[in-house]
Amino acid sequence: MKRYFIFLLAVFLGCLLIHPPTWSQDEEDYPQEPIIFTKPVKAVIFDHKVHVEDNGLSCDSCHDDPFEMEAGSTQEKPDFNMKALYDGQYCGACHDGDTAFASNTQCARCHIGVLGMKRILGIKEEVHH
């Protein structure tokens, strides 16, 4: 029985070596490009790198609640606005002044605006004469 167990463990570890566990697969799979919300207002930046790598947040602190793993899905929700954030929903779950800077401060840190969005998307501003 004990031998069996060791064998199974060896197989399991072997599997692990060949197939890394799903959580570490996810870790590498998070979107590298920042996600930009454009509704209701242009434009808010969310960068996985900052949250996952620099601040060590795990996927399940956000997925699938409050955010689905689908860019653009959250901004379709009618209550995705500042009031919800102030009430501790969405980004406000952490951006409450405890876990991370509060949602009613440093507006221009999340809000990169139309100018920031154009810069990230590489849209050339037209210069008129």
Cα–chain-centroid distance for residue 41?
19
Provide the minimum distance between the beta carbon of 88 and ligand HEC in the complex, in angstroms, as a whole number. Answer: 10
Which stretches within 74-112 are classed as H helix?
A: 82-86, 107-110
Q: Which is nearer to ligand HEC, 20 or 40 (CB)?
A: 40
Q: Is 1 in the site for another protein (CB under 8 A)?
A: no
Write down how long the chain is: 129
Stretch that binds ligand HEC, among 3-11, 13-21, 91-99, 120-128 (CB under 6 A): 91-99
Give me the half-sphere count of Cα atoms (radius 13 Å) on the Cβ side of residue 30: 21
What does the binding site for another protein look like in residue numbers (CB under 8 A)? Answer: 40-43, 106-109, 111-116, 118-119, 125, 127-129
